[in-house]
């Protein structure tokens, strides 16, 4: 089966390309495979997390959303050339 990549499906190929970059995959099929494997593992981990003693209502709400905001800090004491 081939994926229809006509203009009406351009959003899909763009998505596959972005996921490929995130997953360090060089092909669209590799991106789809990697994201499926990630999803399978993550869903299992989320099920386990629900019963973890450190689970809070706030964390449960965050893990239940389809989008997660990430904050990051740039540290000046880290040497990135290593």
Total count of domains within the chain: 1
Residue 61, pLDDT score: 83
Q: Does residue 21 lie in a domain region?
A: yes
Please report which confidence band the pLDDT of residue 27 belongs to, taking 50, 70 and 90 as the band edges: very high
- DSSP readout, 17-74? HHHHHHTT-SSHHHHHHHHHHHHHHHHHHHHHHHT-TT--HHHHHHHTSS--------
Domain assignment of residue 73, yes or no? no
Average pLDDT, the chain: 80
Q: Please give the pLDDT value at position 79.
A: 58
Residue numbers of the domain that contains 57: 8-63
d(CA 67, CA 42): 14
Q: Is 75 part of a structural domain of the chain?
A: no
pLDDT over 80 at 22, yes or no: yes
Above 60 in pLDDT, residue 10?
Answer: yes
**57 falls within a domain:** yes
Measured at the alpha carbon of residue 75, what is the angle toward residues 70 and 80, in degrees to the nearest 5? 105
């Amino acid at each position: 089966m081939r994926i229809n990549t006509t203009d009406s499906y351009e959003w899909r190929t763009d998505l596959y390309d972005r996921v490929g970059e995130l997953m360090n995959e060089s092909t669209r099929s590799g991106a789809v495979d990697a994201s499926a494997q990630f999803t399978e593992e993550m869903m299992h981990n989320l099920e386990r997390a629900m019963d973890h003693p450190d689970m809070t209502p706030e964390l449960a709400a965050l893990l239940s959303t389809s989008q997660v905001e990430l904050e990051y800090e740039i540290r000046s004491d880290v040497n990135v050339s290593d």
